[in-house]
Structure 1
Amino acid sequence: MNEKASSDATKFVSLSRNNSNLLMWSHYADSHKGFCIGFTKNDHYFKQALSVRYRRFRSSFNGVDLNATNAVNITKQIALEKAIDWAYEEEERLFIDDVELDALKCGTDVWGRDILLNSFPRQSISAIYVGLRASPELELAISRAVMQHELNIKIFKAKRSTSEFGLSFEDVSDKYFNDR
Structure 2
Amino acid sequence: MLLNTPICDFGWKAPDFTLKDPDDNSYTLSEQLGDKGLLIAFICNHCPYVQAIADRFVDDVKELQAQGINVLAVMSNDYRYVEIDSPPFMKRYAKEKGFTFPYLVDEDQSVGRAYNAVCTPDFFGFNKYGELQYRGRIDDAAMGNPSNRTKELVNAMKQISQTRKGPEHQTASMGCSIKWS
Query: Shorter chain as normaliser: what TM range?
Result: under 0.3
Between Structure 1 and Structure 2, the one with more helix by share is: 2
TM-score if structure 2 supplies the norm length?
Answer: 0.27
Q: Which structure has the bigger radius of gyration?
A: 1
